[in-house]
């Protein structure tokens, strides 16, 4: 009996198997089609509307999403719920300007003919010397009378003392008639040297807290950053005698004002804001009515510790080191890379506007870690006073002996001498030295914490601009 060809049989069975698979797929597709609803008759709109910001910013429209049908608990089919975008927050309102009265130009002060006047200084108490940036819990204010040669006349006189309070810094007015006392959260009081009274700057109103930027040359108004309690918080020019203020520019939610200063003639205010993360810092100028705002410069870091030269021609500030810019915004330049202002020290102009004294906050790179921590707690640690020529950038230490522990430089009215606080004797005391570094001498011996010397002429000589 002949045998069958096995390869032929295999091909026959494979063909039949393939036909069965195709038939099963066809029947499955027909069944699924009958179970699905008509896509055209049940179509739902799926486009999302764009959200529009106030002003110029418009959010982009998300792409249309294909509709998806789902079967609910009741067995009925319906569309999947459409995603609703969160509302876009509006932009902050346009800054509010509240113009003040037209300012009267102040005469430009010129250097005095000698060093006579008074040196104000504070004797401070700190509850815990190891506290990190702790405030002082008591303050006694003194002044020493100086003759024309810068020699102390008689015994220093105590003007007033406050205890059980918190004070970070003091800011005497240009003529020495008023002294602002600033607490750790920005609260301010005013001491009047003629009457001995201490009054809240805002009297019966709430203090807006914030930063103190400096005095107006009229010795009655101050420039501050107000932060709380008012609807027009921002850059304020405040009358310290009655607490009234002019809002030069209402603050943005971010960034905050970083610095500011009033010009020597009292007509202009320069201020800065920005410098937070990727926001570039900007330097602007306005008048003391809060109008005519215009930009001066922009920088990738921060602008702060702003001071105006006594002749009104230049502005110093901390940016890329210690920088100078002309009052018209031209020729910005760095005159010293030593000064960074890390501990809140301010650059101090000489009366002739040719030299700036500043305290370096830098520390040697090779000091031990515990010493570095001490340097940030103690303002005297590793601190050195330098003088820099504004035009040439030539700089030198005030003392040539290599010593440290010197802060708070203050020029004599004629610019020939500098008073400063120093740890040379083991305690913080006030010392004097000629501007060329000669004739160093100590003028206080309290054995306590002494800070913030400020040299005031008795009757500043002035000339009309």
Quick: pLDDT tens for 166-202.
777 889 999 989 999 888 777 788 999 888 888 999 9
Q: Does residue 239 have a pLDDT over 90?
A: yes
Quick check: is 20 in a domain? no
Contact 185, 226 (CB under 8 A): no
CATH of the domain at 198: 2.120.10.30
Of residues 123 and 274, more confidently modeled: 123
pLDDT band at 68 (very low <50, low <70, confident <90, very high): very low
* Residue 347 falls inside a structural domain: yes
Residues in the chain: 465
Is residue 171 included in any domain, yes or no? Answer: yes
Whether residue 375 lies inside any domain: the answer is yes
Provide DSSP, 60-88.
PPPPP----EEE-TTS-EEEPPPP-PPPP
Residue 39 resides in a domain:
no
**Cα first-last separation, the chain:** 136
240 within a domain of the structure (yes/no): yes
* Domain span at 390: 108-463
Half-sphere exposure of 148 (CA within 13 A, CB side): 3
pTM higher than the cut 0.75: no
442-459 pLDDT per residue, tens: 999 998 889 999 999 885
The answer to the question of residue 187 being in a domain is yes
- For the chain, the domain total comes to 1
Rounded to whole angstroms, how far apart are CA atoms 377 and 381?
8
């Amino acid at each position: 009996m002949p045998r069958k060809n096995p390869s032929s049989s295999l091909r026959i069975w494979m063909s039949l198997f393939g036909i069965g698979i195709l038939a099963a797929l066809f029947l499955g597709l027909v069944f699924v089609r009958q179970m699905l609803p008509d896509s055209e008759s049940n179509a739902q709109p799926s486009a999302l509307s764009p959200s529009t910001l106030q002003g110029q910013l418009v959010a982009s429209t998300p792409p249309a999403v294909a509709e998806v049908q789902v079967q609910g608990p009741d067995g009925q089919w319906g569309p999947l719920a459409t995603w609703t975008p969160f509302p876009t927050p509006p932009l902050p309102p346009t800054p509010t300007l509240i113009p003040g009265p037209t300012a009267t130009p102040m005469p430009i002060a010129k250097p005095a003919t000698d060093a006579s006047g008074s040196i104000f200084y504070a004797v401070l108490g700190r509850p815990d010397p190891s506290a990190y940036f702790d405030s002082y819990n008591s303050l006694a204010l003194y002044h020493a009378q100086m003759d024309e040669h810068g020699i102390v006349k008689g015994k220093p006189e105590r003007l007033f003392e406050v205890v059980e309070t918190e004070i970070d810094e003091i800011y005497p007015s240009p003529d020495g008639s008023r002294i602002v006392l600033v607490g750790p959260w920005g609260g301010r009081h005013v001491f009047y040297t003629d009457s001995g009274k201490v009054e809240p700057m805002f009297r019966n109103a709430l203090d807006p807290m914030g930063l103190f930027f400096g005095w107006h040359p009229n010795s009655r108004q101050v420039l501050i950053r107000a932060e709380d309690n008012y609807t027009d918080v921002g850059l304020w020019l405040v009358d310290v005698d009655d607490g009234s203020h002019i809002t030069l520019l209402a603050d943005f939610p971010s960034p905050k004002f970083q610095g500011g200063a009033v010009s020597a003639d009292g007509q202009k205010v320069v201020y800065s804001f920005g410098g937070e993360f990727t926001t570039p810092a900007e330097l602007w100028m306005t008048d003391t009515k809060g109008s005519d705002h215009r930009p001066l410069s922009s920088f990738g870091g921060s602008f702060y510790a702003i001071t105006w030269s006594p002749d009104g021609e230049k502005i110093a500030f901390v940016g890329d080191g210690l920088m100078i810019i002309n009052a018209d915004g031209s020729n910005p330049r760095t005159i010293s890379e030593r000064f960074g202002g890390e501990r809140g020290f301010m650059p101090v102009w000489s009366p002739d506007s040719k030299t700036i004294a500043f305290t370096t906050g830098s520390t040697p790179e090779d000091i031990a870690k515990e010493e570095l921590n001490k340097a940030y707690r103690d303002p005297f640690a590793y601190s050195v006073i330098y003088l820099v020529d504004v035009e040439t950038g030539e700089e030198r230490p005030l003392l040539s002996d290599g010593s440290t522990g010197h802060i708070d430089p203050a020029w004599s009215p004629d610019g020939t001498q500098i008073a400063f606080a120093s740890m040379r004797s083991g305690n913080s005391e006030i010392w004097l030295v000629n501007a060329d570094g000669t004739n160093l001498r100590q003028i206080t011996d309290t054995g306590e914490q002494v800070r913030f010397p400020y040299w005031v002429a008795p009757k500043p000589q002035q000339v009309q601009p």
